[in-house]
């Protein structure tokens, strides 16, 4: 199969907006078209399994876990096989900032790179390294969820501690799902 032109696609939004489902859907469609896919995920994301990207509705894609630290991120470049066409990276927000260099390098080597991740942390602030990835992306899809309080379109991620909104100084990197997070609209989002 001929390698597609190098490009970067980012799927972003709040928790429960279907980012990972869309990422898996794009990968599965590319496989049907005959492209070779390699998928990566941060090793700290072990919510469902160690070696798959898994959506909240349990659709899976085999993936290689990678240490998210700046020192280890370049491992992705060494792990991508020569006959790979498309590189998929889930939970980009959990990687440190050097992910941007890895993605740029992959796209310059003519790989199609598809990433998904939270564009904002629970405080409503830009989530590393998404601002840079959004800037270099050839295509950005921003997805919304449904506010779990009022039912309006949600663009924010609400972190909860013991069922209450998390204080501003809580840890930004805190892997979890519905036991720790809710999708919220701007009006219902509460940071203390």
Judge whether 190 lies within some domain: no
Judge whether 159 lies within some domain: no
Judge whether 120 lies within some domain: yes
Catalytic residue list = 91
pLDDT at 102: 97
Judge whether 18 lies within some domain: yes
pLDDT at 3: 47
How far is it, in rounded angstroms, from Cα 191 to Cα 72?
A: 32
Judge whether 46 lies within some domain: yes
The mean per-residue pLDDT over the stretch 168-189 comes to 93
pLDDT at 51: 76
Q: Give the DSSP letter of residue 132.
A: H
- Tokens read off for 153: 């379109």
Segments forming the whole domain that contains residue 42: 7-143
Q: Give the DSSP letter of residue 70.
A: T
The mean per-residue pLDDT over the stretch 102-117 comes to 97
Model confidence, pTM: 0.92
Judge whether 127 lies within some domain: yes
Judge whether 119 lies within some domain: yes
- 50 has pLDDT over 80: no
| CATH number reported for the structural domain that contains residue 25 in this entry | 3.40.50.300
- 57 has pLDDT over 70: no
Q: What is the largest CA-CA distance in the chain?
A: 52
Domain count, the chain: 1
- Tokens read off for 179: 């036991």
Judge whether 169 lies within some domain: no
pLDDT at 60: 77
**Burial of 117 from C-beta contacts in 10 A (0-12 / 13-18 / 19+):** buried
pLDDT tens-digit series, residues 6-40:
999 999 999 999 999 999 999 999 999 999 999 99
CB 58 within 8 A of CB 21: no
């Amino acid at each position: 199969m001929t390698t597609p032109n190098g490009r970067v696609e980012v799927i972003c939004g709040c928790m429960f907006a279907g980012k990972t489902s869309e990422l898996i859907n794009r990968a599965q469609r590319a496989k049907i078209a005959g492209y070779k896919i390699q998928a990566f995920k941060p090793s700290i994301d072990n919510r469902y399994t160690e070696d798959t990207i898994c959506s909240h509705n349990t659709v899976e894609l085999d993936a290689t876990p990678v240490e998210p630290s700046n020192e280890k991120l370049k491992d992705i470049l060494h792990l991508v096989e020569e006959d790979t066409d498309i590189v998929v990276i889930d939970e980009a927000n959990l990687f440190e900032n050097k992910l941007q260099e890895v993605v740029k390098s992959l796209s310059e080597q003519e790989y199609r790179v598809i990433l998904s991740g939270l564009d904002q942390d629970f405080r409503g602030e830009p989530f590393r390294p998404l601002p840079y990835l959004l800037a270099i992306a050839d295509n950005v899809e921003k997805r919304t969820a449904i506010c779990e309080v009022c039912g309006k379109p949600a663009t924010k991620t609400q972190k909860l501690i013991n069922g209450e909104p998390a204080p501003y100084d809580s840890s930004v990197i805190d892997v979890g799902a519905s036991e720790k997070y809710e999708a919220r609209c701007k009006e219902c989002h509460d940071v203390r």
